[in-house]
Amino acid sequence: MWLVVLAFIAICIAMRPALPWLVTYPSSWLLPVPSIINSVFGFLIPLLKPICAVLAIILRAALDACSAALQWMPWPAMILFFAILGWLARGWQLALFTAVGLGYVVMAGYWEQGMNTLSLVTLAVPLAVGFGFLLGVAAHSSRYVRGITMVVLDLLQTVPAFAFLIPLLLLFGFGPIVGLIACLVYAVAPMVHCTMLGLERVPPSLLEAASMAGCTRRQRFWHVILPTAKREILTGINQTTMAAFSMVIMAAIIGGFNDVGWEVLNSMRKAEFGQSLLSGLVIAVLAMVVDRITFGMAQPARDRTQTTLRNGLRMAVILGLPLFVAFLLNASPSTMAWADKAQGVIDPSGLNRVVIRFVQDFSAPLDAFKVFVLYHFMLPLRIGLVGAVTPFTWGFAWTFQVSTIYCGLSLSLAVWLWFRGQWQGGAGVLIGSTLLLLGFNGFPWPAFVIVVTALAWSVSGARLASLAGLGTCFIVGAGLYGPLGQSLYLCLLAVLICMFVGGLLGVAAAKSDRFSAVLKPVCDALQTMPQFIFLIPALMFFQVGELTGLIAIALYAIVPPIRYVEYGIRSVPADLVETSRQIGCTAWQRLIHVELPVAKPVVVLGANQTIMAALSMLPVAALVGTKDLGQQVYIALSKADAGLGLVAGLSVALVAMISDRIMRATVSNTGGALD
């Protein structure tokens, strides 16, 4: 089959000069999907608008009440409240961390914005948790609901959040309500997942024991299933909170609300790096505090002996003490005024100067690095070696002779692999080298569709192949082949970087407990950060451009390879390690020949996660000026063009789903071979 594919690619390439439509998809063939979607929306929106208006009024009132309550509490009382929560959740270390972190928020002068962000989160989380829980229970008890839910969840997790901001924008107009609703929609998914997982994990013997104890169905649910699934459900609340938080920050992009995300975005646009660092750090601190507290509460309590009376007393202390302090402070304005002096003591303009000078001092090496990466790694993938290699960049011209040598080398490598029995490797080399020669921009789209479909076919079968074929045809047909190529090349580079660097870090962490202990909090912190944050350092050093986007993507997507590689190597069975030592492998041989092959399925899963992370970061990275699918979403957002936005969003989702399915199929293939 691959022979046919290769022949087809060769024909496509050979025909390129004669038939230019092979490379740039002709605009007359475009599918009118965006306009159809727009007309559907044009029809639906007037119908839905009154309902939405009512909904918006209700939510707005709730939001105002919530933020008024949070603003009414003087900040010392609020910090006290969170510190007590932290203490209850995890002990005094977390209380201290919370107090210091929130103290920083005050000192950086972002308390008010921070509270606005939190009020959005506090409103969204209970709604999302409640709804997600109900949906999870429904999906658990009915196979029909389950099927639908799984599809919706899949879409929710792969369509970039920006894309579904657009229809909401059309329905609700600009403002925080859109953010709130987007946040709700986005945060429901982890709750549903965790609820279903928790309910599924209740051991069957417990269910039987419950029935034999004479439980009715309802009693069984409330007294047995729910308490047993409690841990997963609490984890779901934690993840939902984090998703809501991250989405609130993202929703700031449409503005209209004085929250931290808006501050970050604004200062980035004005190139005020001091401010953006400070406010970015505020987001990071808030994210970590919220995460640690909700995570701590999801852990099983250490002592179980407290009675309900004690619990009541505890609740009274948690709520009463901060309220008491709040009343005291509100009663004496002079004390409060004295305390308020702490607000905003950190001077952002000073920081601005420091950062700008720092960047200037290092501008020469930074620029050199930028140029090097751009010419040697990014351009060849984008426009191919044919276009990227010029005397100016690589020191020699891409002449006919060079081309011949390149083709000869890759051909002979492929043939050599073929003769060693690795015909897949051979085909891969040929396709890869063609891709490198022509770049994603010069690769003919029919060839692209065929390659993806054939790959899907060979790892899984007809069903996946049809998904892959139709999906890529849809993207190409919507006229997004150009941006798709851009996305793929950015993602590919980012994933390669992540797998390489992250893989090395993961191996190191698996080999050294101490290194692992250092790396773990860093990974935890990276994972709790909203995606936005990663733009700040990248932007600071490399200005607007694709390299910045690449770095931001790589920063965001580096955690999964570290985690999975470490986990994969650490979970190699001890007897295998012992056997290989007994046989006389050196540590290096053991790693290459035993541990990595055994850990391969886990590592592939990690690669899959990396790809997913990179794809989800694309629209965010579009903010700093990439030209990919994410940028299309972003353009659609600024034009409030629901059709384009949804099509572009769906395209990202399709890419994500296809690559996810292919990777998973690969894992199950190798897993099957291992057994």
Partner 1 sequence: MALSSSEPVAALKRRLEASGNFLALADVSFDVQQGEIFVVMGLSGSGKSTLVRCLSRLVEPTHGEVWLGQENLLSATERRLVEMRRKVMGMVFQSFGLLPHLNALDNVMFPLRMAGMPLAQRLKTGREMISLVGLQGRERSMPHELSGGQQQRVGIARSLAVNPELWFLDEPFSALDPLIRRQMQDEFLRLQRMLQKTIVFITHDIQEAFRLADRIAIMREGRIIQIGTPAEIMLHPVNSYVASFTEEVSLTKVVTAGSVMEVIPADWTGGEGVHEIDAAVPIEALLPRSIAGTRSFVITREGEGRVGLLRSEVIAKVLANDTIQRGAT
Q: Which residues bind partner 1 (CB under 8 A)?
A: 203, 205-206, 208-216, 219, 223-224, 227-228, 230, 304-305
Tell me the two tokens of residue 56: 């918006």
- Cβ atoms within 10 Å, residue 614: 28
Comparing CB distances to partner 1, the nearer of 226 and 526 is 226
User: Hey, is 558 helix, strand or coil?
Assistant: coil
The single-letter code of the amino acid at 488 is L
Angle at 415 between CA 409 and CA 668, to 5 degrees: 115
Comparing CB distances to partner 1, the nearer of 58 and 213 is 213
The single-letter code of the amino acid at 53 is A
Least CB distance to partner 1 at residue 240 (A): 22
> In the structure, how many helices (H) and strands (E) does the chain have?
33, 0
Comparing CB distances to partner 1, the nearer of 24 and 228 is 228
Comparing CB distances to partner 1, the nearer of 208 and 578 is 208
Least CB distance to partner 1 at residue 88 (A): 19
Least CB distance to partner 1 at residue 304 (A): 7
Do 276 and 267 form a contact (C-beta atoms < 8 A)?
A: yes
Comparing CB distances to partner 1, the nearer of 139 and 202 is 202
Tell me the two tokens of residue 182: 């987007």
Least CB distance to partner 1 at residue 280 (A): 41
Comparing CB distances to partner 1, the nearer of 210 and 497 is 210
Comparing CB distances to partner 1, the nearer of 233 and 653 is 233
CA distance readout (Å), 194 to 177, 244, 463: 26, 15, 28
DSSP letter at 301 equals P
Tell me the two tokens of residue 275: 């401010």
Instruction: Tell which residue, 614, 508, 597, has the closest CA to residue 560.
Output: 614
Comparing CB distances to partner 1, the nearer of 45 and 207 is 207
DSSP letter at 26 equals P
Least CB distance to partner 1 at residue 208 (A): 5
Tell me the two tokens of residue 297: 């509460």
Do 629 and 485 form a contact (C-beta atoms < 8 A)?
A: no
Tell me the two tokens of residue 455: 């790959």
Least CB distance to partner 1 at residue 297 (A): 15
Least CB distance to partner 1 at residue 211 (A): 6
Least CB distance to partner 1 at residue 530 (A): 34
Least CB distance to partner 1 at residue 230 (A): 7
Comparing CB distances to partner 1, the nearer of 230 and 269 is 230
CA pair distance 187, 567, nearest whole angstrom = 27
Do 121 and 248 form a contact (C-beta atoms < 8 A)?
A: yes
Do 99 and 78 form a contact (C-beta atoms < 8 A)?
A: no
Comparing CB distances to partner 1, the nearer of 216 and 332 is 216
Query: Alpha helices, DSSP H only, in 173-272?
Result: 176-200, 204-212, 217-219, 226-228, 230-251, 260-269
Tell me the two tokens of residue 78: 């609020």
Least CB distance to partner 1 at residue 305 (A): 7
